[in-house]
Chain A
Amino acid sequence: MTWRNWMVLSGLILVLSGGAARAAEAELTLGVQPFKPPTVLIKAFTPLANYLSARIGRSVVVKVSKDYQSHIELAGTDQIDIAYLGPASYVLMRDRYGEKRLLARQAIAGSPTFHGKVFVRDDSPIRTLSDLRGKRIALGDPNSTMSNLLPRYLLLQEGLEQKDLAGVGSFGDHLNIVLAVLAGEYAAGAVKEDVFFANQPRGLRAIATTPPISDHLFIAGNSLDAKTVDTLRTAMLTLAAQPEGLAIMGAITDGITAFGPVVDHDYDNLSMILHQLRAHGVIP
């Protein structure tokens, strides 16, 4: 073997080993807050992870956080590279850990904002929020926008605080809130509107609707380089135009029609709501 051949071979080995090392460190995490059971969420987000992986040439794995609080912490401290956050979780994370680079915001049926519903059973005598005084109400995770924070805001508007209620249940899963009310364990509950509409035929009636809130969004961790962030953002914003786009997005939540552009100001009204809640001591 000539000297020249030795040089080529050595170069190849260096390139290959460098590539392998980069591939090993290149695995990105797509973190998801636990608004559904982990098995359901991993199945729901894996198509998106595969799509992103193909677009950036790096492996993307789905991880479901233990609860909303830890999800906010993981996203805020860049322990996950791409975070899927609810609006309130995003605002809380931003307030606590500072701004992040935003990737995209989901739009259901073309709308980038969504609502929450406070509901009761069809046969319930409760007609208004004020009727909930002295009743038990099922809410979601303390950091959940539509199943906790916004309903509390609506109750606060009606002059109802936690002490005015007979009890507040805390559920991680929106569906469980619905079923707990239907089973008669709680007089009322609050969930985001798509969950409400999906279960309304089982015997639900809405008594209040939250203001429109900018929908869930994806953010990029600070550890990602700008080029990767741009590539991810482009991939998400063009997903709706892909043949498999609707299927990938629909797997996450029924009815998502696009991932649209997002800016921090889109969550200003929510920031104001959270500020009021904080001012009244509803949230820390």
Chain B
Amino acid sequence: MSVVGVHATNRRALVVFVAVLILFAGLGGVLLVFQQRQVLADHALRDLDNDIFVLGELAADALLRSDYASVERMLGHWASNHPEVRLLSAAMPNGFELAHFERPENHSTAFSRRKEIVFEGRKLATVTVVQEEVPISGQIALLSYQFFAASIVFVSLLGWLLWLTLQRTALRPLEDEIKRRERTELELRGRTQELEAANKELDAFCYSISHDLRAPLRAIDGFSQMVLEDYRDKLDAQGQNYLQRVCVATQRLGQLIDDLLRLSRFALQELVPIDVDLSALAQQFAEQRSTADPSRMVTFNIAAKLHAWGDPQLLQVVMHNLLDNAWKFSSGKSPAHIEFGMLLRDGQRIFFVRDNGAGFDMQYAAKLFGAFQRMHKQTEFPGSGIGLALVKRILNRHGGDIRAEAAPGQGAVFYFTLKGDALV
């Protein structure tokens, strides 16, 4: 599982945990609120009982001295000063309602209390009070808000602690692994840069040496030609043969030096990538060769509209070398078939150049892309052995690669990729 996946899983687990916690906190809160509601209701009832007791005592004194008006006034004042009282009634033993107080009903829950005022076994009056739970509801609402706020704080704190714990137990090793990989990648990048620098130095050195070798080589070739032309009569046939061999060798060495220079020049050249029409390059090659050598029977099968992102000059070198090889190594076939196309494998584009030419033995495939490595004799197929090395270096510089499949006498296929597509 990727690091991102692990993060997402942990987040999901955390969210579920917090949700469960909130659920439990909510249930606990509801229970607590109900319990508190009962406590408050009991408290309100006790208060009411106390009030009725005191009122009863005072009323008893007044009633015993027949001061009914005072009782009526006192109960009326008490009820009007207690907003939660919905109804108060003081009934005399004969049913007469000495005091009556009533407030409009507001549909809230109410409870009632009835107390008989008795003195020495004689019933003086009966007081009934109906009281709303308005004050309790207010306190319950306040308690609910407080509990909700406390729950939020508690759950947030717990969630935060859980997150810290998760980070330490599950995420820390992953983060350590990420850091280790980043360090490794950094080191690798550093070494790659060092390697590139060393390669550039090597290419520059190679270019310098090649360039410096050309002057003495031209001197050897020039003076050998002059001896052959100006002193031909003074040399016997063997001497002339030797000098001719010197000339051929110097020309061959010159060709090698030119190839070396090309190799190092392309290696040093700055890439200027644009969209390049590879099909057009292949088509151009086919037309040139068919025109130049009409005696050969070659059929080109070129897929249309194959484009790539790269340096146009270098990609032209790649296409030219691969098609030139196909043209060259299929010279023994008639008709020869040369094909340029593209495969899609796992979403990756793989270009290929196929021919039905001489092919080669795959056991030497490892040497195929080395400089000056040849599979065939010079007399059989001319060449310096620098072409495929050059192709590989160019493709590598474009972030691609090349490989070949072949069999002796059955042709060869060269697969190559660009822009970092891995070669399958």
Q: Interface residues, chain A, CB within 8 Å of chain B? A: 37, 121, 169, 171, 173, 175-176, 179-180, 182-185, 202-203
Contact = CB atoms under 8 A, between A and B. Distances in A.
A4 to B, nearest CB: 65
A35 to B, nearest CB: 12
A184 B69 contact: no
Nearest to B97: A202
A180 B68 contact: yes
Given A175-B68, A183-B96, A184-B96, 20 more contacts: A37-B69, A37-B70, A37-B73, A121-B96, A173-B67, A173-B69, A176-B66, A176-B67, A176-B68, A176-B69, A179-B68, A179-B98, A182-B92, A182-B96, A182-B98, A183-B68, A183-B94, A183-B98, A184-B94, A203-B96
Contacts of A202: 96
B72 interface: yes
The CB with the most chain B CB atoms within 10 A, among A169, A171, A179, is that of A179
B93 interface: yes
B72 A179 contact: yes
Contacts of A179: 68-69, 72, 98
Given A179-B98, A203-B96, A185 B69 contact: no
Nearest to B71: A179
Contacts of A169: 66
A130 B366 CA distance: 147
A180 B98 CA distance: 10
28 contacts: A37-B69, A37-B70, A121-B96, A169-B66, A171-B66, A173-B67, A175-B69, A175-B72, A176-B66, A176-B67, A176-B68, A176-B69, A179-B68, A179-B69, A179-B72, A179-B98, A180-B66, A180-B68, A182-B96, A183-B68, A183-B92, A183-B94, A183-B96, A184-B92, A184-B94, A184-B96, A185-B66, A203-B96
Contacts of A182: 92, 96, 98
A169 B96 CA distance: 19
The CB with the most chain A CB atoms within 10 A, among B66, B72, B92, is that of B66
A202 B100 CA distance: 11
A40 to B, nearest CB: 9
Closest 8 CB pairs of A and B: A179-B68, A184-B94, A183-B92, A175-B69, A182-B96, A176-B69, A183-B96, A173-B69
Contacts of B94: 183-184
Interface string B86-128: 0000001110101000000000000000000000000000000
A182 B93 CA distance: 11
A181 to B, nearest CB: 9
B94 to A, nearest CB: 4
A180 to B, nearest CB: 5
A208 B70 CA distance: 27
A173 B92 CA distance: 19
A91 to B, nearest CB: 27
A223 to B, nearest CB: 35
B92 to A, nearest CB: 4
A12 to B, nearest CB: 52
Contacts of B66: 169, 171, 176, 180, 185
B190 to A, nearest CB: 101
Nearest to A203: B96
A121 B67 CA distance: 18
B76 to A, nearest CB: 12
A202 B91 CA distance: 13
The CB with the most chain A CB atoms within 10 A, among B69, B72, B92, is that of B69
A183 B68 CA distance: 9
Contacts of A176: 66-69
Contacts of A203: 96
Interface string B40-75: 000000000000000000000000001111101100
A58 B93 CA distance: 52
B155 to A, nearest CB: 59
Contacts of B69: 37, 173, 175-176, 179
Interface in B219-252: none
B122 to A, nearest CB: 12
Contacts of A184: 92-94, 96
A203 B95 CA distance: 12
A37 B67 CA distance: 11
A148 to B, nearest CB: 16
Interface string B183-214: 00000000000000000000000000000000
Contacts of A37: 69-70, 73
B93 to A, nearest CB: 7
A31 to B, nearest CB: 22
A171 B68 CA distance: 10
Interface in B294-333: none
A180 B62 CA distance: 12
A184 B68 CA distance: 12
Contacts of B70: 37
Nearest to B92: A183
A183 B98 CA distance: 7
The CB with the most chain A CB atoms within 10 A, among B67, B72, B73, is that of B67
Contacts of B72: 175, 179
A171 B66 CA distance: 8
Contacts of B73: 37
Nearest to B124: A183
A183 B72 CA distance: 12
A203 B98 CA distance: 11
A6 B73 CA distance: 62
The CB with the most chain A CB atoms within 10 A, among B67, B68, B98, is that of B68
Nearest to B66: A180
A175 B96 CA distance: 15
Nearest to A169: B66
B139 to A, nearest CB: 35
A67 B281 CA distance: 135
